[in-house]
């Protein structure tokens, strides 16, 4: 099973099944498919024992993220880390977490 990678700060949210959305930019956009299931892992490659089933992928631009309920702090973190312009393409991935 292919992995879907997350920053380590999301481990508890994945394990507790409280996270249901991720934003993918640049080379990670277009990598995942609706209806497919992936193994949740850290970027370091550590498996977290959960499967992620993609329920919806929304293709949009960076400046449209607030229209989809993405918190301002998440948007600012992405902007700072990835140096995104307003018209940069992004994917909002909605998912369900299931035990591995």
Say if residues 54 and 96 touch (Cβ distance below 8 Å).
Answer: no
Query: Alpha-carbon distance 48 to 39, whole Å?
Result: 8
Binned at pLDDT 50, 70 and 90, residue 93 comes out as: very high
CB count within 10 Å of CB 57 equals 17
The predicted pLDDT at position 84 comes to 87
**CA 98 distance to own-chain centroid:** 16
What does the pLDDT look like over 9-68, one tens digit per residue?
999 999 999 999 999 999 999 999 999 999 999 999 999 999 999 999 999 999 999 999
Contact partners, residue 80, CB within 8 Å, separation at least 6: none
Asked if the model's pLDDT at residue 100 lies above 70, the reply is no
Task: Tell me the whole-structure pTM to 2 decimals.
Answer: 0.91
């Amino acid at each position: 099973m292919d992995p879907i990678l997350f920053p380590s700060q999301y481990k508890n949210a994945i394990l507790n099944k409280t996270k249901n959305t991720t934003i993918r930019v640049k080379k990670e956009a277009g990598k995942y498919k609706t209806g497919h299931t992936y193994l949740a892992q850290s970027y370091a490659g550590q498996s977290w024992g959960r499967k992620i089933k993609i329920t919806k992928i929304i293709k949009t631009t960076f400046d449209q993220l607030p229209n989809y309920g993405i918190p301002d702090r998440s948007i600012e973190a992405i902007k700072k880390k990835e140096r995104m312009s307003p018209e940069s393409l992004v994917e909002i991935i909605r998912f369900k977490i299931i035990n591995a």
